[in-house]
Protein backbone atom coordinates (compact mmCIF):
# COMPACT_ATOMS: atom_id res chain seq x y z
CA UNK A 1 0.00 0.00 0.00
CA UNK A 2 1.39 3.41 -0.98
CA UNK A 3 0.56 6.05 1.65
CA UNK A 4 1.49 9.69 1.13
CA UNK A 5 1.38 12.05 4.08
CA UNK A 6 0.85 15.70 3.19
CA UNK A 7 2.08 17.78 6.11
CA UNK A 8 4.85 15.74 7.72
CA UNK A 9 4.94 17.64 10.99
CA UNK A 10 4.47 16.19 14.47
CA UNK A 11 1.48 13.98 13.67
CA UNK A 12 2.29 13.36 10.01
CA UNK A 13 5.65 11.93 11.09
CA UNK A 14 4.07 9.94 13.93
CA UNK A 15 1.56 8.25 11.63
CA UNK A 16 4.06 8.02 8.76
CA UNK A 17 6.41 6.08 11.03
CA UNK A 18 3.61 3.75 12.17
CA UNK A 19 2.47 2.99 8.61
CA UNK A 20 6.07 2.51 7.42
CA UNK A 21 6.94 0.19 10.30
CA UNK A 22 3.79 -1.81 9.51
CA UNK A 23 5.09 -2.39 5.98
CA UNK A 24 3.47 0.33 3.85
CA UNK A 25 5.46 2.35 1.34
CA UNK A 26 5.28 5.81 2.92
CA UNK A 27 6.04 9.20 1.38
CA UNK A 28 6.35 12.29 3.54
CA UNK A 29 5.61 15.64 1.88
CA UNK A 30 6.20 18.95 3.60
CA UNK A 31 6.68 22.56 2.59
CA UNK A 32 9.36 23.01 5.28
CA UNK A 33 12.50 22.50 3.23
CA UNK A 34 14.94 22.33 6.17
CA UNK A 35 12.91 19.50 7.76
CA UNK A 36 12.70 17.60 4.46
CA UNK A 37 16.45 18.04 3.86
CA UNK A 38 17.27 16.86 7.37
CA UNK A 39 15.11 13.72 7.01
CA UNK A 40 16.74 12.89 3.69
CA UNK A 41 20.27 13.51 4.95
CA UNK A 42 20.06 11.79 8.34
CA UNK A 43 16.75 9.94 8.47
CA UNK A 44 13.82 10.72 10.76
CA UNK A 45 14.78 10.41 14.41
CA UNK A 46 11.91 9.11 16.53
CA UNK A 47 12.01 9.63 20.30
CA UNK A 48 9.60 7.15 21.84
CA UNK A 49 8.79 9.30 24.88
CA UNK A 50 10.20 6.78 27.36
CA UNK A 51 13.88 7.37 26.80
CA UNK A 52 14.46 5.38 23.63
CA UNK A 53 15.09 6.59 20.12
CA UNK A 54 15.40 5.09 16.65
CA UNK A 55 16.20 6.46 13.22
CA UNK A 56 14.19 5.58 10.13
CA UNK A 57 15.10 6.04 6.50
CA UNK A 58 12.19 7.86 4.90
CA UNK A 59 11.10 9.16 1.49
CA UNK A 60 10.81 12.87 2.28
CA UNK A 61 9.96 15.34 -0.47
CA UNK A 62 8.96 18.94 -1.01
CA UNK A 63 8.13 18.39 -4.68
CA UNK A 64 4.87 16.56 -5.35
CA UNK A 65 5.98 15.59 -8.85
CA UNK A 66 8.51 13.19 -7.28
CA UNK A 67 5.75 11.22 -5.55
CA UNK A 68 3.74 8.30 -6.96
CA UNK A 69 -0.02 8.18 -7.37
CA UNK A 70 -1.00 6.79 -3.98
CA UNK A 71 -3.51 4.37 -2.54
CA UNK A 72 -4.05 6.71 0.38
CA UNK A 73 -3.29 10.41 0.80
CA UNK A 74 -3.27 11.55 4.41
CA UNK A 75 -3.75 15.26 5.04
CA UNK A 76 -1.95 16.17 8.27
CA UNK A 77 -1.39 19.92 8.09
CA UNK A 78 -3.02 22.24 10.59
CA UNK A 79 -6.61 22.76 9.46
CA UNK A 80 -6.08 26.27 8.05
CA UNK A 81 -3.75 24.77 5.44
CA UNK A 82 -5.98 21.84 4.46
CA UNK A 83 -7.24 23.40 1.24
CA UNK A 84 -3.74 24.33 0.12
CA UNK A 85 -2.39 20.87 1.02
CA UNK A 86 -5.12 18.87 -0.72
CA UNK A 87 -4.90 21.10 -3.79
CA UNK A 88 -1.15 20.47 -3.98
CA UNK A 89 -1.77 16.72 -3.63
CA UNK A 90 -4.14 16.47 -6.62
CA UNK A 91 -1.41 15.07 -8.97
CA UNK A 92 -0.95 12.01 -6.72
CA UNK A 93 -4.66 11.39 -6.31
CA UNK A 94 -5.84 8.75 -8.75
CA UNK A 95 -9.43 7.70 -9.41
CA UNK A 96 -9.49 5.24 -6.50
CA UNK A 97 -7.19 7.07 -4.08
CA UNK A 98 -8.74 7.43 -0.64
CA UNK A 99 -8.06 10.63 1.32
CA UNK A 100 -7.72 10.36 5.09
CA UNK A 101 -8.00 13.22 7.59
CA UNK A 102 -7.37 12.82 11.31
CA UNK A 103 -6.95 16.56 11.83
CA UNK A 104 -8.69 18.58 14.49
CA UNK A 105 -11.51 20.98 13.75
CA UNK A 106 -14.42 21.36 11.36
CA UNK A 107 -14.18 21.95 7.63
CA UNK A 108 -11.39 19.54 6.70
CA UNK A 109 -13.74 17.01 5.10
CA UNK A 110 -15.48 19.74 3.12
CA UNK A 111 -12.16 21.13 1.83
CA UNK A 112 -11.04 17.66 0.76
CA UNK A 113 -14.32 17.02 -1.05
CA UNK A 114 -14.18 20.40 -2.77
CA UNK A 115 -10.67 19.77 -4.10
CA UNK A 116 -11.01 16.11 -5.05
CA UNK A 117 -14.59 15.72 -6.26
CA UNK A 118 -15.48 12.04 -6.16
CA UNK A 119 -12.58 10.48 -4.25
CA UNK A 120 -13.57 8.43 -1.22
CA UNK A 121 -12.85 10.11 2.09
CA UNK A 122 -11.94 8.53 5.43
CA UNK A 123 -12.25 10.76 8.49
CA UNK A 124 -11.26 10.24 12.06
CA UNK A 125 -9.89 11.56 15.31
CA UNK A 126 -6.88 10.67 17.36
CA UNK A 127 -5.83 11.51 20.89
CA UNK A 128 -2.31 10.24 20.35
CA UNK A 129 0.04 13.20 20.51
CA UNK A 130 3.48 14.17 19.29
CA UNK A 131 5.89 17.08 19.01
CA UNK A 132 8.24 17.96 16.22
CA UNK A 133 11.24 18.87 18.35
CA UNK A 134 13.35 20.20 15.49
CA UNK A 135 13.83 19.41 11.80
CA UNK A 136 14.03 15.63 11.37
CA UNK A 137 13.25 14.78 15.02
CA UNK A 138 9.83 13.80 16.35
CA UNK A 139 8.79 12.85 19.87
CA UNK A 140 5.88 10.43 20.31
CA UNK A 141 3.78 11.33 23.31
CA UNK A 142 1.36 9.32 25.36
CA UNK A 143 -1.06 6.70 24.25
CA UNK A 144 -4.66 6.88 23.24
CA UNK A 145 -6.98 5.73 20.53
CA UNK A 146 -7.36 6.55 16.86
CA UNK A 147 -10.85 6.15 15.40
CA UNK A 148 -11.67 6.37 11.72
CA UNK A 149 -14.57 5.69 9.40
CA UNK A 150 -14.99 5.56 5.63
CA UNK A 151 -17.46 8.29 4.66
CA UNK A 152 -17.91 6.60 1.27
CA UNK A 153 -18.54 2.98 0.44
CA UNK A 154 -15.46 2.91 -1.82
CA UNK A 155 -13.09 3.45 1.10
CA UNK A 156 -14.45 0.88 3.56
CA UNK A 157 -11.84 -1.75 2.83
CA UNK A 158 -9.05 0.84 2.85
CA UNK A 159 -10.17 2.16 6.25
CA UNK A 160 -10.09 -1.37 7.64
CA UNK A 161 -6.61 -1.93 6.17
CA UNK A 162 -5.31 1.32 7.69
CA UNK A 163 -6.66 0.31 11.10
CA UNK A 164 -5.01 -3.10 10.63
CA UNK A 165 -1.64 -1.50 9.80
CA UNK A 166 -1.76 0.72 12.88
CA UNK A 167 -2.78 -2.15 15.16
CA UNK A 168 0.06 -4.27 13.76
CA UNK A 169 2.57 -1.86 15.32
CA UNK A 170 0.78 -1.60 18.65
CA UNK A 171 -1.17 1.59 17.92
CA UNK A 172 -4.67 1.43 19.37
CA UNK A 173 -6.85 2.02 16.29
CA UNK A 174 -10.49 1.17 15.70
CA UNK A 175 -13.18 1.72 13.12
CA UNK A 176 -15.72 4.27 14.32
CA UNK A 177 -19.48 3.74 14.13
CA UNK A 178 -20.20 7.44 13.76
CA UNK A 179 -17.18 9.57 13.11
CA UNK A 180 -19.10 12.85 12.90
CA UNK A 181 -19.99 12.44 16.58
CA UNK A 182 -16.31 11.79 17.36
CA UNK A 183 -15.23 14.86 15.39
CA UNK A 184 -17.80 17.21 16.95
CA UNK A 185 -17.11 15.93 20.47
CA UNK A 186 -13.40 16.56 19.93
CA UNK A 187 -14.20 20.05 18.61
CA UNK A 188 -16.28 20.68 21.75
CA UNK A 189 -13.34 19.60 23.90
CA UNK A 190 -10.79 21.65 21.93
CA UNK A 191 -13.04 24.72 21.74
CA UNK A 192 -13.04 24.76 25.55
CA UNK A 193 -9.47 23.75 26.41
CA UNK A 194 -7.44 25.13 23.51
CA UNK A 195 -8.95 28.61 23.61
CA UNK A 196 -8.87 29.11 27.37
CA UNK A 197 -5.28 27.88 27.69
CA UNK A 198 -4.20 30.11 24.79
CA UNK A 199 -5.97 33.16 26.27
CA UNK A 200 -4.71 32.68 29.84
CA UNK A 201 -1.28 31.21 29.10
CA UNK A 202 -2.08 28.39 31.55
CA UNK A 203 -1.74 24.64 31.11
CA UNK A 204 -4.76 22.32 30.96
CA UNK A 205 -4.51 21.75 34.72
CA UNK A 206 -4.23 25.51 35.23
CA UNK A 207 -7.52 26.35 33.52
CA UNK A 208 -9.16 23.51 35.45
CA UNK A 209 -7.93 24.71 38.84
CA UNK A 210 -10.91 26.93 39.76
CA UNK A 211 -14.54 25.89 39.87
CA UNK A 212 -15.47 29.08 37.96
CA UNK A 213 -13.07 28.33 35.10
CA UNK A 214 -14.11 24.65 35.02
CA UNK A 215 -17.70 25.83 34.64
CA UNK A 216 -16.64 28.03 31.73
CA UNK A 217 -15.04 25.01 30.01
CA UNK A 218 -18.24 22.99 30.44
CA UNK A 219 -20.37 25.89 29.16
CA UNK A 220 -18.25 26.40 26.02
CA UNK A 221 -18.31 22.69 25.20
CA UNK A 222 -22.07 22.53 25.83
CA UNK A 223 -22.62 25.30 23.29
CA UNK A 224 -20.66 23.32 20.68
CA UNK A 225 -22.66 20.18 21.48
CA UNK A 226 -25.87 22.20 21.05
CA UNK A 227 -24.70 23.29 17.57
CA UNK A 228 -23.80 19.70 16.69
CA UNK A 229 -27.27 18.53 17.68
CA UNK A 230 -28.83 21.25 15.51
CA UNK A 231 -26.83 19.75 12.62
CA UNK A 232 -28.37 16.37 13.40
CA UNK A 233 -25.24 14.98 15.06
CA UNK A 234 -25.96 13.21 18.30
CA UNK A 235 -22.92 14.37 20.28
CA UNK A 236 -23.09 13.79 24.03
CA UNK A 237 -22.64 16.68 26.44
CA UNK A 238 -22.00 14.37 29.40
CA UNK A 239 -19.37 12.43 27.44
CA UNK A 240 -17.49 15.62 26.57
CA UNK A 241 -17.77 16.97 30.14
CA UNK A 242 -16.44 13.66 31.46
CA UNK A 243 -13.40 13.85 29.19
CA UNK A 244 -12.75 17.48 30.17
CA UNK A 245 -13.01 16.55 33.85
CA UNK A 246 -10.50 13.73 33.38
CA UNK A 247 -7.65 15.75 31.85
CA UNK A 248 -6.92 18.17 34.71
CA UNK A 249 -5.00 15.55 36.68
CA UNK A 250 -1.21 15.98 36.20
CA UNK A 251 -1.10 12.20 35.69
CA UNK A 252 -3.33 12.71 32.63
CA UNK A 253 -2.76 15.95 30.69
CA UNK A 254 -2.71 18.48 33.52
CA UNK A 255 0.76 19.74 32.58
CA UNK A 256 -0.04 19.82 28.87
CA UNK A 257 0.34 23.01 26.85
CA UNK A 258 -2.36 22.74 24.20
CA UNK A 259 -1.39 23.27 20.57
CA UNK A 260 -3.22 26.61 20.57
CA UNK A 261 -1.23 27.76 23.60
CA UNK A 262 1.99 26.60 21.91
CA UNK A 263 0.96 28.52 18.79
CA UNK A 264 0.36 31.62 20.88
CA UNK A 265 3.75 31.29 22.59
CA UNK A 266 5.46 30.97 19.20
CA UNK A 267 3.22 33.68 17.64
CA UNK A 268 1.94 31.30 14.97
CA UNK A 269 -1.47 31.14 13.30
CA UNK A 270 -3.87 28.98 15.32
CA UNK A 271 -6.63 26.58 14.30
CA UNK A 272 -9.23 28.95 15.82
CA UNK A 273 -11.44 29.06 12.73
CA UNK A 274 -11.74 25.26 12.49
CA UNK A 275 -12.02 24.77 16.24
CA UNK A 276 -14.44 27.66 17.04
CA UNK A 277 -15.23 29.94 14.13
CA UNK A 278 -16.98 27.32 12.08
CA UNK A 279 -19.12 26.13 14.99
CA UNK A 280 -20.12 29.76 15.69
CA UNK A 281 -21.16 30.19 12.03
CA UNK A 282 -23.11 26.92 11.95
CA UNK A 283 -24.83 27.92 15.19
CA UNK A 284 -25.87 31.25 13.62
CA UNK A 285 -27.26 29.39 10.61
CA UNK A 286 -29.55 27.55 13.04
CA UNK A 287 -30.45 30.74 14.93
CA UNK A 288 -28.55 29.56 18.03
CA UNK A 289 -26.81 31.82 20.53
CA UNK A 290 -23.33 30.66 21.58
CA UNK A 291 -22.13 33.60 23.72
CA UNK A 292 -19.24 31.91 25.55
CA UNK A 293 -17.95 30.21 22.40
CA UNK A 294 -18.15 33.55 20.56
CA UNK A 295 -16.31 35.25 23.41
CA UNK A 296 -13.30 32.89 23.41
CA UNK A 297 -13.33 32.88 19.60
CA UNK A 298 -13.07 36.70 19.54
CA UNK A 299 -10.34 36.75 22.19
CA UNK A 300 -8.12 34.21 20.42
CA UNK A 301 -8.67 36.04 17.13
CA UNK A 302 -7.69 39.40 18.61
CA UNK A 303 -4.58 37.89 20.22
CA UNK A 304 -3.60 36.19 16.97
CA UNK A 305 -4.07 39.38 14.98
CA UNK A 306 -1.98 41.43 17.44
CA UNK A 307 0.89 39.18 18.51
CA UNK A 308 3.40 41.99 18.19
CA UNK A 309 1.38 44.43 20.28
CA UNK A 310 0.86 42.25 23.37
CA UNK A 311 2.05 44.24 26.42
CA UNK A 312 2.75 41.33 28.82
Q: Which residues are near ligand NAD by CB under 6 A?
A: 6-12, 29-32, 76-79, 81, 84-85, 88, 103-104, 126, 129-130, 132, 259, 271
Q: Which residues pair with 141 in a beta bridge?
A: 129
Nearer to ligand NAD, 2 or 230 (CB): 2
Q: Which residues pair with 147 in a beta bridge?
A: 125, 174
Smallest gap from residue 102 Cβ to ligand NAD (A): 7
Nearer to ligand NAD, 157 or 307 (CB): 307
Nearer to ligand NAD, 11 or 240 (CB): 11
User: CB pairs under 8 A, 24+ apart, for 242-248?
Assistant: 243/185, 243/189, 244/189, 244/192, 244/193, 244/208, 244/214, 244/217, 244/218, 245/214, 247/193, 247/204, 247/208, 248/204, 248/205, 248/208, 248/209, 248/214
Smallest gap from residue 153 Cβ to ligand NAD (A): 26
HSE, CB side, 13 Å, CA atoms: give it for residue 67: 30
Smallest gap from residue 29 Cβ to ligand NAD (A): 6
Smallest gap from residue 128 Cβ to ligand NAD (A): 7
Smallest gap from residue 44 Cβ to ligand NAD (A): 12
Nearer to ligand NAD, 88 or 301 (CB): 88
Please give the Cα distance from 72 to 150 (Å, whole number): 12
| Chain centroid to CA 192 | 16
Nearer to ligand NAD, 170 or 210 (CB): 170
Nearest residue to ligand NAD by CB is 9
Please give the Cα distance from 178 to 21 (Å, whole number): 28
Amino acid sequence: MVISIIGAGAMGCRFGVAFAEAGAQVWLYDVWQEHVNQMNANGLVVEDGVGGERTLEVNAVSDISRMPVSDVVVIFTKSMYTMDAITKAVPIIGRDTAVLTLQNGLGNIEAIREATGNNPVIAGVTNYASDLLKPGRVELKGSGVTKMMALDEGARETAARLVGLLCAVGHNAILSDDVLIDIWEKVAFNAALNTTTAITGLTVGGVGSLSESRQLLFDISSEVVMVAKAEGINASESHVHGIIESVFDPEMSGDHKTSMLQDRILKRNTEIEAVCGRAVQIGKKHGLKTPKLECVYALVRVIECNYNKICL
